[in-house]
Amino acid sequence: MILQGFDPEKFCLHPGHFDNQSNLHGINHTYRVMCHVLYLGQALLFEREIKLAFSAAFIHDMSRKHDGFCQHHGLWASRQKLPLFKDFFLSQGINSFQLEEISASVRNHSEGFDLQKNDPFWKTAALLKDADALDRIRLGVGNLRIEFLRFPATEQFVPFANALFQSSDQHQINSFSQMFALTLQHQHLIKFS
C-alpha cells in the first residue's frame, strides 16, 4: 500500500512514549491497531482516513495511567502526546486541519459514544475505534463484541486479528515493519462475503 508522502515505517514506538508501561496497552497492542487500520481502511476504500487513523492509533493509548476502564485517556493523549508528535505528523504530509481530525479521533476512541455519521471526522474516528476493537481479542473470549463494530466489513477481520495477536503476543516487537511482517503470514484469513 502506498500513501503519498506517508511512510508507516517511520512510526517507531518506544517504551518511554507511554505514561503507563503496559503489555496490555503498550507497543505490541499499538502496532497491531496500526496494522488493522491499514488493512481495514484499504478494505473500506478509504485513503485520507487511513493515514489519519494510523497516526491517531500511534498515540491513542500513550497517556493511559492504568490498564483498567478509562474514558479519559484519549483526551489526555490528544492534549499531551499530539503536541509531541505534531512536527513528525506534519512531516508525513498531514496538515493542520487533519491534526484536528487526529485529535478528535484519539479523544473519541476512549469515549463511550461514537461521533455522529454526519460529523466530518466520523470515518477516521470509526476506523480507529474498529481497528482498536479488533485487538480486544487479546482480552479473551467475549471481549470483542461484533455488535458494537461500526463497519460491517470489520467482522471479516476477526480471524486475522486473532492470528495476529497469537503470533505477536509473546514477542518483543521492535518496529512497525516487524509487526507488519507478521500480518503477511495471516492475510489469507481476510475474506469478504
Contact 68, 177 (CB under 8 A): no
Whether 10 is in a domain gets the answer no
Whether 7 is in a domain gets the answer no
Whether 2 is in a domain gets the answer no
Query: Residue 155 belongs to a domain with what CATH number?
Result: 1.10.3210
Mean pLDDT of the chain, nearest integer: 93
Which domain does 81 fall in, by range? 18-188
Predicted confidence (pLDDT) per residue in 28-47, tens digit? 999 999 999 999 999 999 98
> Could you give the count of Cα atoms lying within 13 Å of 126 in the half-sphere of its Cβ?
20
Whether 140 is in a domain gets the answer yes
Measured CA to CA, the distance from residue 24 to residue 28 in angstroms comes to 8
Split into its structural domains, the chain has a count of 1
Predicted confidence (pLDDT) per residue in 50-106, tens digit? 999 999 999 999 999 999 999 999 999 999 999 999 999 999 999 999 999 999 999
Whether 13 is in a domain gets the answer no
pLDDT at 1 over 60: no
State what percent of residues in the chain have pLDDT above 90. Answer: 82
